[in-house]
Every structure is written in structure tokens, then in C-alpha cells.
Structure 1
């Protein structure tokens, strides 16, 4: 289902003015304006509601509320001493010029050969969604959310986010393209609609979701020209919580856009095959790093591949390089400024800056920042981090062996393998959705929501679910359950169909678990259109 936006002009004689403001639905005949309200203390959603506001988000990582308010209520709330600022819910958009040598140019392939591949790192791709069924992207999908339409299916319906995700994490599977960090997991956080337009409030909500779901890196190939107190607070909060935030500098050939323009964000400029700045790449003192962004081959919707250009394409090169660096052990090195044995965002930035290939003017400049990101140089001299190493002093030294060697050659008895945990399909629901294109053509598809649970009723995360679509479409689909044990698998679209979509689960697999189909509450479900 699409979201329709009407645009109208409102002039507000208050503490601020909006020249062009997207209108929302009327309530009691009064047009309401989409805004973001930041509070000096705790956010007060009830106060906003008391002024006739329709609350869209009440954020948890920043004291702010996104809502629709009548113009007079904006004026009244602006006078409230507990309100820091009320600002327009501005629009942002994806950054591309429809136009993976980049992977080798930043030496990511050599970095992978050295054993650093992004394994265990989680990247939130905040964009138009991702085609998580793409054969090069399905294996690394961790789940996500759609803030553009407020549902649990962050499927790409524009194509931009799929291309970005491929540059970061296209799998090392012997076909297609290779991502910078091919074993990193990614979240699809959809904040832009099918036209590539997104609102700052949705971006802030996506950032909050990424933080709350344990993302290590946030990659944003989106942005707008408007500054924003609320959006700045959101990226600052993510940064302070330990998340590395990377964003596109912009394709205007002018000033750096937002959120890339904020201090807590790594702003990325674009270069061509010859390490020259792309003419449309935005510039300024905010630019921190440069990366390949012209003629980048990556994944496209529907399982295909294609070329795009833009700082949008440069950004995932840096996000992937961050993932590779996070694979290393920082403990005991000069970069571990706080001696906690963990890469912090400031430490990551320092290392990437120090190891970037200096291009353009000597030293940092407004066009290339510190230079072209260099993944191999960034990891050089570091050892591979040991997964699950929680030693408080950062030491990787093995514990001392206090046993006495009595000369016996007796081998220890083999341990019994750990018993498998039973899992099953606890819920299966198929629903249809559609979009109108042109005046009379409806394109319809079905979404199958599958929930996997263990014998104790706990959600099973990371299980690969495979099933078959039949009826109006014939295809096999598979994916991985999210932290809630839930996965949404979508069918192909059909033009003006008349019939039934049926989805049948054929297999569920996860190491350490045994799939018991006899416990399933359902093995198939259908929805007619």
C-alpha cells in the first residue's frame, strides 16, 4: 500500500517558519503540520496530544517526539519552557545518478584474503529497504523494519538500498558480486518510500531501531539539505552508544548535506576510477573520507546486477571497511584510547583517517577529506578479534595449565555432542498487498509471515526458512528469522490477478536445532485476491 503526500503552503508567524510544508490528514477540519519536538528534559507525548497532536514517534534514545500539529498548537508549544525546539519534519531522498572495481580499489579483497571479512559485525542499512531474497544478499540478512509504511517487511520497492547493501555485504558465494565485508550481517531499515523520498522523523526512528537492535555500523546513503536538531541528536546518541555512523556527503556538487554534515557522522565523498573527485560530489570541511562512487556494479532488485553512481555508492565502501576494521583486536594498541579492548567510534575514525590514501591536496582537504579509504592499511598490524572474548583486561592469553604431566599418553574421553534443540513453525500467515500504477493496473503480491519457536516457546533467531509459493505464482523463497524469530517472505508481483497465493514451508534449518514439523501449527496458508 502506498502513502500519498499532499503539499501545501503554510506561513507561520511564530519562532520559525516553513516555506513549503507537507500536509497530512485533516482532523476536525484543521490541517496539521508534520513536526519534530525536542524537549529540554523528558519527552512529553501527552502534552503534544493535549494540543491536538497526532504522535507519530516517541523516541527512546533522544528526548523528542515526532507528530502532526495544528499551526496554533505549534505556536503555543513554542512558548512552553520545557520545549527546546520545534522544527519541520523535513524530507530527504536517496542520492544516485543512475549511472565493483571499488572493492579492489580500497583493497578490500586483499583484506579478506588476510582473514578479515566482517564476520559477526552487524550493519544497519537505512535506506529504501533491501531485496533480502536476492541470492547474493539472503545469507547475510538479519531482519529489519519498514518505517515508511510502519510494518515488519523492509522489502525494497525502489532499488537503491539493495544496491547499497550489495556493496557492503554481497556474499562470498562464487557468483554475482563480492561485497567489501561479505560475511557481515545487515539489517534492512526502510525509511524511504517507493519514490525514494523519506522524512527526517523516519530516519531518526530508523537510527533508534538500529541502536536498540545492536547494530555496530549505521550506513545512510540518504540525506537532505535541511539542518535538524532532532536528527543531529539521533546520530549523536547512536555515536555515544558505540555505533559508527557513515553517510553520503551528497551529489549537489556543493555543500555537504545532512546527516553527513553532523560531527558524529563520517561524511563520504565519491571518486572515479582514476581517484579523481566526481564533479557532482559535495564538498566542505565535513568530508572525512573518499571512496569509489562512479560506475559501481552491485545487486539490484529481483536477483539481478547493475551499475549506479553517487556518493550513495561511495558510502557503503566505507561502511564495509569499518566492518572489516571491527573484525580486528584493538586491545593493547595505541588506538585503544580508553583501554577497554573494544573499538569505539572515535577510535575507528582515527584509524581510518591515519591509514587513508592521501589524494588531492596534501593532508586533509574539503574534497577528499583525509583521503581514499584503505581497508588493508586499516587492518594492517592488527590480529583477528577472537569472537566472544570478554576478558576484562583485553588480554587474549590462554589461562595457565596447572595440571601435572605424569607421562601418561591416555587420551581424554570424547565429549558427548550437545543435544539439539527442537524448533517448529509456531505461526504462518499469508496476506496480500497491492500498488496502483497508472490509472487501472494493480500489481499484487503476497507476504508470508513465518514465526519459528523452540519447544519452550522462545523465538529462534537466525533460522533459515525455505518454502514454496504456488497458485498465482510458482517460486521458492528463503530467508533468515530476526531476533523475534520472525521472517517475512514475499512472492513476485502479479498484474491485475484473480486467484490465490499459497505459501508452504518446506524446511527450517539452524545449527544446534532440530526442525520437528509434527509440532507445526500450520505448514501452509493462502490468501485470495
Structure 2
């Protein structure tokens, strides 16, 4: 059965092979390639057999205003508008129905348009179209753990001081004079901790299309209220009961995510463009999707925002801990992508004993709201109440005041939600037991002290829940340093092979500003976690760095934050986290401000070396910038982890002199004996040393990446009676293989998309041959006329290929 879902998470390599031997009425078409043209690039997931409409983002070949400017080309808004109108008109002719929703020209050239899914191939053949992207839905978690005012103190926001913000404040750098754009769910700019950071112009609302970028209020008929953007803004620049990283920065808010915290690519790109045009110095995007591609529309917009001088900071995503999970816009080549860490914490041991004298050996502390609340369980006997899986319905009607909730893992309910329900019911703690064999993860910041048991111990306790009480003996064990959160997405990035994230910052149990939607007490504080919470720490840090170094460009800011980041150690292994887990490390603000040496780029990818080629060499370079007022001499060394260095030879200038205030380009020659290495990627360091200054730049090298399916040849022969032998050569085989039929224009070019001729799957490497009788997969028999044949091939999550042959004639 034909698989209707076309998945294109990576680039469509559009190779148009045109065969020249066609003459009118010919029955055999064969010949050699005479030229190569390009079809549009396709990304995303579509059902190409469905006429259901979908919105896509169309990128034009005509360059945006910013792109043209930085390439030294003449471009005007009027010309770009004319070209865009021409393409829109052509799209209107090629598809049965289309509706343009938004248009872009500043950092992205194109428009958002709604079209039937089964007519997307027509967009790929439209002159002037460079790429087609899905209008991905972004959703943020709007839930908040509110912090009661009685227990609140200004010191509660530990994360800003931890990265050295208070040291930067003491040095006179608070973000004053720097404007930070928060592109999110909107911001409650009336919150007393934020009101002073906004001027008369607050920003823009792309959900309701007005200049009031407030959060979605409670009881909006379109969806739930939101708090995410206000929380992000507070981490950047709150200045009241709590202080953000840059408490005197100016804020602008752009509401691109609406009710329920949901929004689309179309609005996000519009927000990026507006923020750049409004004069933002820094922008924060605590949002993302799962598309691991550097060329996704939002990533492109951020790259050109950086080129225009705006430090773009974005979250890396919450799809960890596996590699390759980073999503756009965290995949941006130039923007600063941020992973999440957990601040240092104390580990406690726990003994759980029931009143019949049984002790449960698997007892351990899972999470707690504070150490005082955890240790308060000692020396008491508590009644137990079984609440099943801990759903609200299972808590209903049960008396838990001052008792311990006994909860099973499972039913799709997050651990933190189970603890929250226990707190709501009046429980002073919870015992959470596994419903399968094995261990459970440590979850910090639970609403009630939570002790975990394995499945056997939990079921044993449940069997006598009404007959015994329990007591606990909880004691301090040791402290764990800053660690990377499991949920934090990992790199690398497909196609560019870049290390991501670039840096990390605190993102677990972060307390910041939120609206409460309670008219009697509208302004509150709450805890959230995610790379969404880590990113604004870096945006605020960038504001401090810019204030301290107003002449720095965006890449100096990025390199300073990366070069001075602190390496993080995995407590489970005692070794540094991999580069694609932590990036360059956890940011340290004052060190970045005071950096006198910058190495750019802040992480370094050697790219891909094919195993089949044996030894392979490449010439590359990096830069060292001496910001001091005296000449410095640097020692440069490349090293690789494990035994990789035996098969990789890197030669460069080991001793490099750089004059004061100058930048020195350092050439690198790398030779890899790929035949001696297994396929995969290998990590190492570029170490630049000058006196006591040591800069470690994460490096990565790939060997033998998959040969994605490029259609290197394509043709067809007539077998008579409107039957054709269609063939193509697929060096890497294909998981999915489709033949698309287009009408042929008078010049032999691609006209309108007609339909699918056939579908196949799981094709091996080599030649693929199919006999086709002129009937489309939907049963339509093609009428007489001239057509063009195109092949679509997909292999895994890798490169796609679209190739088109010359005119096929149905008589």
C-alpha cells in the first residue's frame, strides 16, 4: 500500500537532469545530460495524496534586504515586492487555490501561503521559489509552579548569581542601554518587576495583530492563559523583588505564540523581522521544533538577524538525552543555541521503615521543594493513603492532610504532577514506587518531599497500606555539581555537522516573574524548567557583555561566552560531558566580559571524511583575536579523545604572535585516515594557550556519514502503447521512491504538477526500474499530451533527491 506521508526532515537535493534527444512524436527517449537546473528544496511532513489545505513557508530565490546588503548586492523593498508578487501570481496559476497569510522581506525573503497538500509539488516547480518549509506549530508548556509570597525572598533566584551576574553588577554592568527582544507568548509588562524595563512602545502582537503584546488572559475562548513569556522576560531583566541577569536592560515583547502557548513559523519569522527593525540589540527565542536542519526558515531568519548585528539566542530544545535531537531554530549556524543545566544540589539518603519493622532497601530521595521540608519528615510516624497513579480523580474524596501519599508510577502522569496533586490534597510527602523493574530518574523540585521505591518494595508496602504507618530517616550524603539536564536536546546538526548547543545555562526549577490571573493579587512568581529557561540567562548575559564592550560585534559576544564557559563534569562518569551535550560549557558572565583573547568560531567542526576514500586532507582555518593592549604569543594544539589522534594529523602554527587589538587567521591542514576509523563522529579540543590563559574550543570530526540518495541518472524508454520503462540510479538506495508527473511547457520546462505515477519503497542501492502504463496512482489515465517525469527518493532522515527527465509523450 502506498505510504501517503512524505517525510522531509532534511534538505531536498534538487538535481534536474535534462535529456536532449527528444523530438516531437518520438517513441524512445534517451540521451546524455546537457544541463543541470534546480527544483525548490522541500522540508517537512506532508500527505501528498490529500487535498486538505496546509500552510507552508515559501522562500524566494530573490535575496532579502539584509542578505543582499551583506553580499554587497543592490536590493530594494520595491524590487523585492515586485518579485514576490510575480511568484505569488504564478503560484496562483499553478495551484487550484492559495491564500497568502504573511509576507517577509527583511531577514527572510518569501511568504506564508495556504495550498492543498497534493499540490505542493507544483510549488517546487514554480520559477523563483528556492525552498518550501512547513508552517510548524510551536507549543510551550504554560503550567507554572507558583511560589507563595510568604516564602519568597530576593535570593530565591539562585541561577543569576550562580553564573556571575551579581559580580558583573558589582563591576557596573547591569544591561543599561541594551535592548532585549523577547519573542514568545507575550509579556505581562505591568508586572512591577518588569514595568520599568518597558518604554511607551512595548513591541507587537502577531497573534492579534496589534501593539499590545500581553500574555493570553484567562478565559480566552481560543485557549488557555499563558505565562511563559513573562517568565522568560523576568530571567532576562526583572528588577524588583527578584533581579534578572540584566536588571536594567530595556525590554521589547513580541507575541508570536497565542492561547495555550501555541503559534506558528509564520508568526515567529514575522517577530524576528520586526525585532531587528525595531532596533533590538539582543533577541531571545525560547521556542523550537524537532526539525534538525540548519536551513529551516526560522534558522535562516536568525542567521541574517545576527548578520545585521542582533545577538540571537535560542533554546536548544527539550527532546534529550539522545544525540541529533536539536531542532530549529537551535540548529542555526550563527545564533547562540543554549542547553539546560541543573544547579548544584545536595544528595540525601533515605531509609523507609513501616511500623511492622520492615525496612525497604530501595528507598531513595527523588525530589523535594526544600531541604527543610525533606528533613522535616524525620522522627515522625505517618499514615499512608493509596492514591493509585496519582491522578486528580484518584485523590478526590480521600483524606491526606498531614499524611503520606502512596503513588504508583505510570498512567502517563509526570512525576511532578503526581507530587503536585499530593500537595493540593494536603499530604506532607509522597512515596512513589515503580510499576516496572528498574530504577526511576531523580526529579528535582517536587512539590512535596518524595521518596521512591522499586516495584517489589512498593507493592509490598501497598499490600499493607491500611495496617501500618511509615517513618523516614533522611541524611545528607554529598553534593553534586552543576549537571546537564536529561531533557536538554543534543546535537550535532545535520548537513553542517556543527556542535550544538553552543553553551549551557541553568534551566531547572528556575524562579521568575509570572502573571497569576487573580485580580486580587495579579503579580506572582513561579518555577519552570526547560531550555526555554536556560536561553534567557544567555540573552541577559549577552546584554551585560554588550554594555561592557559596546564596540563588539555579535560573533565577539558569542565567542566570549563560549571561550570562557566552564566545562561540566558528568557525576555518573567523572568525565566531561560530550560536546553535543553541554556545548562549550556553562556560561560565566564576568569572565566573558573581561576576555582579552577570543577564538572564533567558539566550536569547530572539521566536517565529514569518507571512510571509503582512505586518507583525505582538507585545508581550513580559525581566528585568534587579541583584545589587549600588548602583543601576545599563543600556543595552538589540536587533540582528540581516545585513540582517534593516531589516525588524524592536524598541522598548524603552533606558536602564533598576534599584535594588540588585531585578529590573526590561523590556517589548519587536517589529514584523516578514515579507513582506520569506524563510522561516526569524534570529539576533541583546539587548545589556545597564552600564559595562564587557556581557551579550549570543542571540536568534532565525522567519518563515513551515510551516502544519502542522490539520483545520479534518470530516464525512460517507450515500450509502445503508452507504456514506459522508467529507470533511475540510486547510489544509496531509497526507503521511499515516488514518480511525479508534471505537464510540459512549450519550452520543455516543468509545468503544473499532475499527480503521482507510482510509488515504491525499500529499494536497494543501484538501478531502479519500473514499468508504467500511463495511469496515475489515483486511477486517472493520462490524456494525450506532453509531460515531464520527476523522481523523489528518500533515505532515512538524510538527503532527499528530486530529478526530472525530458518530455514524455502520451499519444
* 2:174 partner SS: coil
Q: Does 1:327 align with 2:547?
A: yes
**How far apart, in 1, do the equivalents of 2:142 and 2:340 lie?**
11
* 2:584 partner SS: coil
Q: Does 1:120 align with 2:166?
A: no
Paired residue for 1:436? Answer: none
User: What runs of 5+ residues in structure 1 fail to find an aligned partner?
Assistant: 1-8, 22-29, 331-341, 383-393, 395-529
Paired residue for 2:555? Answer: 346
* 1:195 partner SS: helix
The structural deviation recorded for 1:85 is 1.3
Q: Which one of the candidate residues 537, 550, 568 is aligned to 1:359?
A: 568
Q: Does 1:248 align with 2:306?
A: no
Q: Which stretch shifts more, 370-379 or 207-216?
A: 370-379
Paired residue for 2:245? Answer: 180
Change (3 A) 1:95 1:20: farther
**How far apart, in 1, do the equivalents of 2:525 and 2:334 lie?**
33
Paired residue for 1:475? Answer: none
Paired residue for 2:508? Answer: 294
Paired residue for 1:58? Answer: 103
In 1, are the aligned partners of 2:46 and 2:117 still within 8 Å (CA)? no
The structural deviation recorded for 1:230 is 2.1
In 2, are the aligned partners of 1:288 and 1:369 still within 8 Å (CA)? yes
In 2, are the aligned partners of 1:95 and 1:222 still within 8 Å (CA)? no
Paired residue for 2:87? Answer: 47
Paired residue for 2:234? Answer: 166
Q: As a proportion of its length, which structure holds more strand?
A: 2
Paired residue for 2:115? Answer: 69
Which structure is larger by alpha-carbon Rg, 1 or 2? 2
The structural deviation recorded for 1:325 is 0.2
In 1, are the aligned partners of 2:87 and 2:127 still within 8 Å (CA)? no
Paired residue for 1:318? Answer: 538
Equivalent runs, 1:272-421 vs 2, <5 Å: 272-274=342-344, 275-284=482-491, 285-301=499-515, 302-329=522-549, 342-360=551-569, 361=575, 365-380=579-594
* 1:287 partner SS: coil
In 2, are the aligned partners of 1:95 and 1:311 still within 8 Å (CA)? no
Change (3 A) 1:95 1:374: farther
Equivalent runs, 1:30-45 vs 2, <5 Å: 32-41=53-62, 42=80, 43-45=83-85
**How far apart, in 2, do the equivalents of 1:305 and 1:160 lie?**
12
Q: Does 1:152 align with 2:216?
A: no
Deviations 1:423-448 (A, max 9, x none): xxxxxxxxxxxxxxxxxxxxxxxxxx
* 1:327 partner SS: helix
**How far apart, in 2, do the equivalents of 1:106 and 1:12 lie?**
44
Change (3 A) 1:363 1:196: closer
Q: Which stretch shifts more, 178-187 or 54-63?
A: 54-63
* 1:245 partner SS: strand
Between the two proteins, the alignment pairs up a number of residues equal to 353
In 2, are the aligned partners of 1:95 and 1:223 still within 8 Å (CA)? no
* 1:222 partner SS: coil
In 2, are the aligned partners of 1:123 and 1:215 still within 8 Å (CA)? yes
**How far apart, in 2, do the equivalents of 1:278 and 1:17 lie?**
30
The structural deviation recorded for 1:18 is 5.7
**How far apart, in 2, do the equivalents of 1:250 and 1:17 lie?**
19
Change (3 A) 1:365 1:77: closer
The structural deviation recorded for 1:70 is 3.5
Instruction: Give the alignment's Cα RMSD to 1 decimal.
Output: 2.6
The structural deviation recorded for 1:40 is 0.9
Paired residue for 2:262? Answer: 197
Deviations 1:258-283 (A, max 9, x none): 10111112111111121111111112
Deviations 1:357-379 (A, max 9, x none): 22235597222111111111112
Deviations 1:190-241 (A, max 9, x none): 1101111111111111000011011111101100112453222211110110
* 2:235 partner SS: helix
Q: Which one of the candidate residues 263, 266, 279 is aligned to 1:214?
A: 279
Paired residue for 1:237? Answer: 304
Report the TM-score when normalising by structure 2.
Answer: 0.41
* 2:112 partner SS: strand
The structural deviation recorded for 1:53 is 2.6
The structural deviation recorded for 1:79 is 0.8
In 2, are the aligned partners of 1:35 and 1:86 still within 8 Å (CA)? yes
In 2, are the aligned partners of 1:96 and 1:312 still within 8 Å (CA)? no
Change (3 A) 1:12 1:349: closer
**How far apart, in 2, do the equivalents of 1:103 and 1:144 lie?**
25
In 2, are the aligned partners of 1:107 and 1:376 still within 8 Å (CA)? yes
**How far apart, in 2, do the equivalents of 1:351 and 1:15 lie?**
35
* 1:260 partner SS: coil
The structural deviation recorded for 1:295 is 1.1
* 1:358 partner SS: coil
The structural deviation recorded for 1:17 is 8.0
Change (3 A) 1:119 1:369: same
**How far apart, in 2, do the equivalents of 1:363 and 1:349 lie?**
21
The structural deviation recorded for 1:130 is 0.3
Change (3 A) 1:327 1:90: same
**How far apart, in 2, do the equivalents of 1:118 and 1:229 lie?**
31
Paired residue for 2:394? Answer: none
**How far apart, in 2, do the equivalents of 1:381 and 1:39 lie?**
40
* 2:581 partner SS: coil
Change (3 A) 1:345 1:17: closer
Q: Does 1:271 align with 2:341?
A: yes
* 1:349 partner SS: helix
Q: Does 1:107 align with 2:128?
A: no
* 2:340 partner SS: strand
Q: Which stretch shifts more, 198-207 or 353-362?
A: 353-362
In 1, are the aligned partners of 2:41 and 2:131 still within 8 Å (CA)? no
Q: Which stretch shifts more, 100-109 or 12-21?
A: 12-21
* 1:167 partner SS: helix
**How far apart, in 2, do the equivalents of 1:363 and 1:280 lie?**
14
Paired residue for 1:88? Answer: 134
Deviations 1:39-58 (A, max 9, x none): 11145135325514322221
**How far apart, in 2, do the equivalents of 1:364 and 1:117 lie?**
33
In 1, are the aligned partners of 2:500 and 2:581 still within 8 Å (CA)? no
